A and B are shown apart, each in its own frame.
Chain A
Amino acid sequence: DIQMTQSPSLLSASVGDRVTLNCKASQNINKNLNWYQQKLGEAPKLLIYYTNNLQTGIPSRFSGSGSGTDYTLTISSLQPEDVATYYCYQYNSGPGTFGGGTKLELK
């Protein structure tokens, strides 16, 4: 299985900050990567698919980038409603695998 490692596991930031979350795959996943946001008590929500495609209805402050084994989710200006845990997920080869998550909190 492909291992997905997210860093940091916990991130504290202030409203308005530019925030970067990282995801590293154990092998090349050819940009076949999604990002999900999960708020407390809710199901995960798709933010970004295929590395850099913004899901319909997701604010433009979210963006994704990367290639090969290294991927990034960026929030350009952190908002209070962005407090959540973020997961990356690769579907390049089965089984699909998730990262361990980055918990984002307000400083």
Chain B
Amino acid sequence: EVQLVESGGGLVQPGASLKLSCVASGFTFSDYWMSWVRQTPGKTMEWIGDIKYDGSYTNYAPSLKNRFTISRDNAKSTLYLQMSNVRSEDTATYYCTRGGMVLITKHWGQGVMVTVSS
């Protein structure tokens, strides 16, 4: 069974950094592109970016490219999202998904909440 389990969320102050993780199981992680998607408390959904199966290529939403970095460790079957200089508008639930930007996938994590507040 495919499982994606995010962690690393919580309360963070504006301007700080935070790194989210997504541990994958039930499939060969290194065979798949992976993506991050977020949903604000107002339910707005936003595709953040994706990463190629071998980690050699990443693609981001332009509005987030300068502050967010996606990486992966295939040996650990883990996807990461490094968030820097966070802002209140980054408050959201963050989901990892199996697959690239096309998001033709039924495999989503349960989501992890990030709250940016002083």
A46, A55, A95 pick with most chain B CB within 10 angstroms: A95
- Among A55, A57, A98, A100, contact of B47 (Cβ-Cβ < 8 Å): A98
Known A34-B103, A43-B108, A89-B47; further 8 A-B contacts with Cβ < 8 A:
A34-B102, A43-B111, A44-B95, A44-B108, A85-B43, A95-B61, A96-B102, A101-B43
* Contact A91–B101 (Cβ < 8 Å): yes
A45 to B107 alpha-carbon distance, docked (Å): 8
Chain A residues touching B, majority SS: loop
Residues of A within 8 A of B61 (CB): 1, 94-95
Residues of B within 8 A of A32 (CB): 102
A45 to B49 alpha-carbon distance, docked (Å): 19
> How many B residues have CB within 8 A of the partner chain?
21
B104 at the interface (CB under 8 A from A): yes
> How many A residues have CB within 8 A of the partner chain?
23
| Segment 67-90 of A: residues with Cβ below 8 Å from B | 85, 87, 89
